[in-house]
Structure 1
């Protein structure tokens, strides 16, 4: 899978791209109602006509931002080489002008602009500190991402998309106190692109003590998906989940069998194993075990295919790497 298209919607609102510099449609009379869309502010990654902060300044002047509910940060200049420090600073500086902001996506960037593992990120903690009423936060890209342990009382959804999530980021998120969080989605990725977290780093998620409201847990796109599933088989948090997502990774019969033979999963509403390396027999077993109990199961292998070398070495790949 590749990141081929920008977000169509975010925070339950259709995405709308704020017009670029010189576009007359940026006039207030031609823009949608401020609270009716998720506003996407972006500039060209290559040879941009203006910096992202300049585009954001135009946005602040053209839109009644006191009503803006969701904001999508797209490409900033030279995103493959430059962290979004000034982007984050501009957002934090504008916090008093965005009192209704509840959804924030940092890095809605597609492959034509920059591959996911080339996106240079930064320290996102100031955004969570500046917007205490934020309910949904998502970030794309793991390179140089910094996510220290914080407390946020109202955040309900946290998604981090990457081709390789650093262990320091995983540990930081695991150390967060997020009492209202319902949905946690982490793309762990591969070591080739910086995903060096081990299963032990995920232990706080398995315990779930800092996430008392959690209903959906996604630990996916991982090259150690089997080990993740083996740990989930006895993880206390699973008993109170409605949705479990172990998709997009290197999931084989070993991981799926461990999950099935562990604690009961029949209380779940959904179990997502999309993109996997399961045998037909194990796929059938998963479906026959859980679907009669009303669990919606996705065991579609997608395009997951193992490559075998002449010496017998087998290579399996996550859905989103580079």
Structure 2
């Protein structure tokens, strides 16, 4: 199973590939789709650069009607960071006046491993678009997210094989009063994922994001530590769903979670891709499913044994 695939939708709008310059294709209304802009720099006869595609898009589609943008490949990902994308978005802020949702880095494994995607400081997008409701980013290399303020943002999502601790601390220190959905793929230290449970403390303490209803702390090699911290975290009381999937979650973490505060108020608990034994999994189901909590414990994770040690892996690393 691949957990890194092209987006099919963004903010409720179906993704639509902006066609090549020589394509004869009827275009949807500007606000009916999430426009996906991407170029392939490895084509033998590349039709245009990302800058050329961006300019053609703004000339072809009425910018004032565009509600969502999905940015895929903008060049060779390991040579060009997303600053070029951020810069173009900032420059177009007076034209993209209806923009509600942005996703930067919509690349699949065939285009680039997630750790190859070079990101940048993405907070200028929030500063340029005070009406933005959704911001998503794929790739942690070079990612910066200094503490910021935004009144309208409802969803913030970072997908990474290694999410920098500095970026996590920036998110945790931000003022986002409308934030309902926060998802962090923390990753592994080998690929820059050096965030600690202490970096998450302001989020787990509750109150930082008063509107938060979904918290995803995913894809972490310290998933057991995170589960233990979540077990006593005040923020859990305000959630309707909790996602601790894709990481190295074992019986130890799940047992700590069960021994903590009640989780029966949740609608959904996602623990899929895990290293949990069936007896402990049954304990989770018995404790939560009678109260109507939907629990996902599917998809056992991959593990190897050598030199007498068990080695377990997150779902997404490189």
TM-score normalised to the size of structure 2? 0.97
Is this contact kept in 1: 2:39–2:72, CA < 8 A? yes
1:36 and 2:25 matched: no
State how far apart, in whole Å, the 2-side matches of 1:77 and 1:272 are.
35
The whole-number CA distance in structure 2 between the counterparts of 1:7 and 1:304 is: 23
Separation in 1, partners of 2:41, 2:290: 49
Distance 2:88 2:36 in 1: 15
Q: Is the contact made by 1:3 and 1:111 (CA closer than 8 Å) also made in structure 2?
A: no
Query: Residues of 2 paired with 1:197 and 1:89: CA distance?
Result: 27
Secondary structure of the corresponding residue to residue 43 of structure 1: coil
Q: Verify the 8 A CA contact 2:162 2:191 in the aligned structure 1.
A: yes
Q: 2:305 aligns with which of 294, 297, 308?
A: 308
Q: CA deviation at 1:20?
A: 1.7
Q: Please report how far the alpha carbon of residue 95 of structure 1 lies from its aligned counterpart in structure 2 after TM superposition.
A: 0.8
Alignment of 1:278-293 (within 5 A): 278-293=276-291
Q: How far apart, CA to CA, are the structure 1 residues paired with 2:179 and 2:32?
A: 24
Which of 102, 108, 111 pairs up with 2:109?
Answer: 111
**C-alpha contact 2:272 2:300 (8 A) present in aligned 1:** no
Question: Which residue matches 1:77?
Answer: 75
Deviation of the 1:210 alpha carbon: 1.8
Other-structure match for 1:188: 186
Aligned to 2:132: 134
Paired position in structure 2 for 1:68 = 66
Contact 2:3 2:315 in 1 (8 A): no
Partner of 2:11: 11
Alignment partners' CA distance in 1, 2:74 and 2:90 = 16
Q: By how many angstroms is 1:205 displaced?
A: 1.1
| Paired residues for 1:167-186 under 5 Å | 167-186=165-184
Q: Distance in 1 between matches of 2:41 and 2:279?
A: 47
The secondary structure found in structure 2 opposite 1:24 is coil
TM-score (norm 1): 0.96
Aligned residues: 316
Q: Name the stretch that deviates more: 33-42 or 3-12.
A: 3-12
Given candidates 162, 165, 189, the residue that maps to 2:163 is 165
Contact 1:268 1:295 in 2 (8 A): yes
| Distance (Å, rounded) in 2 between the aligned partners of 1:278 and 1:93 | 49
Report how far residue 209 of structure 1 moved.
Answer: 2.1
| Offset at residue 299 of structure 1 (A) | 0.8
Q: CA RMSD in A?
A: 1.1
Distance 2:82 2:233 in 1: 36
CA contact 1:4–1:112 (8 Å) conserved in 2: no
Picking from 302, 315, 321, the partner of 2:317 is: 321
**Rounded Cα–Cα distance in structure 2 between residues aligned with 1:288 and 1:84:** 46
Contact 1:3 1:116 in 2 (8 A): no
5+ residue gaps, structure 2:
none
Per the alignment, residue 20 of structure 2 pairs with 20
Paired residues for 1:191-230 under 5 Å: 191-230=189-228
Determine the C-alpha separation between the residues in 2 that align with 1:86 and 1:260.
46
State the alpha-carbon separation in 2 of the partners of residues 172 and 86 from structure 1.
22
